[in-house]
Structure 1
């Protein structure tokens, strides 16, 4: 039998419990007949983060992931959408591929993960080799993102780690601050700009940034949800989130 509301697909969406952005952003992208079922990774909100603290915090998220995946299985999802990104970049492309295998094996369905989805989005735009990126992370985590993108064939020209003071602080970064950072990252030596960190809200800002920068700006939540829809053969144009969801 088919789910009454998710008659096309039932998605389980996984994100940290402190994440206030993934659920509303992905809900706004949801087409008719697809349902999103949010399952959180329990995590406390640390304060006064340092580089070392950030790495330790992401390790805790990774350790708590299995409980969230176990909960996700109970709604019998057709597909898994990972709304947590830092741990998906660890270990470069090989580490990211191993992470995908682990989450898919745990739930028994295929998954869209931030790291792979961002690369797929860059490839969908075409003719992109030189990229810059912004994250809410600290330098050690940015180094993992850089490695993943380089392993995937891209030249990372520069990056900005916002070094947010807590997990909740990530969701409090304003559009004005993000526009400032995008301008800092931009240049004639950059073909596209990427935003990672799923609690950093850029899904609505990215298409407008593409207009004033004149190049692709890829928000990780948009890329991940787009990847999930396309992996399931769903191509409905969704307005308000840029070319990925309308033309690709």
Structure 2
């Protein structure tokens, strides 16, 4: 179906309430910390016709991060704001909610992550009659598309305490982390200011013949387009967290579109 055909179908259905005008395939809520600008931008780059995105914020202060204690405080602020943010976002009656953050979904490993996913998914089902995409669980589904992968290298914008949580989660689900490097970005807003050149250096630092796949965590770090380029250059999968979560939301809602420019996950799976 083309965009014009979809819109014409809407216009012909004069009294047909129930379908968003531009979201005639699906309407997704994109739930992000209020400091985050990268998720919305990258999702719109990847968005197929007929999908509407409604970005809603979990309100947190513009926290500076100069040490690990402040990073933990940032993650806690996001967690504290999430339940109310989710309930507020459900008022637009979405088909699905994508959680546009990742650090809090890894925290303390798989057991806690599964528990938090269930908690928020239960709220989404009870209040909005829909399901959610959660970063950690989406990563598990994405990695299952690459059955030969056993060893993973990781980059992030995090402080070391955040990187250690990523390692714990990946080890909990059966993968070996060969190397991990973080930007140690100085604040929640500043994560989105990290240049591609600097991020490329992190990728080069963690890449080795020993790693099967490179994974990027940290949803406010722009990486989706760079991941597609790096995958072609390095000859191995390079997965961006925002591509992973958007891919997961599309596929779990029956949208099969293969979208190029962001790597093999979205173009081939």
| Smaller-chain TM-score bracket | over 0.9
Q: Which of 119, 134, 140 matches 1:119?
A: 140
The equivalent of 1:110 in structure 2 is 131
CA contact (8 A) 1:8 1:34 kept: yes
CA contact (8 A) 1:88 1:114 kept: yes
Deviant stretches of 4+, over 3 Å: none
The equivalent of 1:152 in structure 2 is 173
SS in 2 for 1:198: coil
The equivalent of 2:186 in structure 1 is 165
Instruction: Flag structure 1 segments of 5+ consecutive residues without an equivalent.
Output: none
Using a 3 Å threshold, how does the CA distance of structure 1 residues 48 and 127 change in structure 2: closer, same or farther? closer
Residue-by-residue CA offset, 1:190-229 (whole Å, 9 max, x unaligned): 0011000000000000011112211111000000000110
> Is structure 2 residue 94 aligned with structure 1 residue 94?
no
> Is structure 2 residue 34 aligned with structure 1 residue 17?
yes
Residue-by-residue CA offset, 1:10-35 (whole Å, 9 max, x unaligned): 11110111111000101111111111
Q: Offset of 1:158 from its aligned partner?
A: 1.2
Question: How large is the RMSD of aligned CA atoms in angstroms?
Answer: 1.1
Instruction: Flag structure 2 segments of 5+ consecutive residues without an equivalent.
Output: 1-17
Q: Offset of 1:178 from its aligned partner?
A: 0.8
- Written as runs of structure 1 = structure 2, the 5 A alignment for 1:185-204 is 185-204=206-225
The equivalent of 2:10 in structure 1 is none
The CA distance in 2 between the partners of 1:217 and 1:182, in whole Å, is: 10
- Written as runs of structure 1 = structure 2, the 5 A alignment for 1:1-248 is 1-108=18-125, 109-248=130-269
CA contact (8 A) 2:158 2:184 kept: yes
Residue-by-residue CA offset, 1:129-169 (whole Å, 9 max, x unaligned): 00010111111111111111111110111111221101111
Aligned residue pair count: 248
Q: Offset of 1:127 from its aligned partner?
A: 0.4
SS in 2 for 1:233: coil
The CA distance in 2 between the partners of 1:191 and 1:9, in whole Å, is: 34
TM-score (norm 1): 0.97
CA contact (8 A) 2:64 2:70 kept: no
Max Rg structure: 2
If asked which structure has higher relative contact order (CA below 8 Å, sep 6+), I would say 1
CA contact (8 A) 1:92 1:151 kept: yes
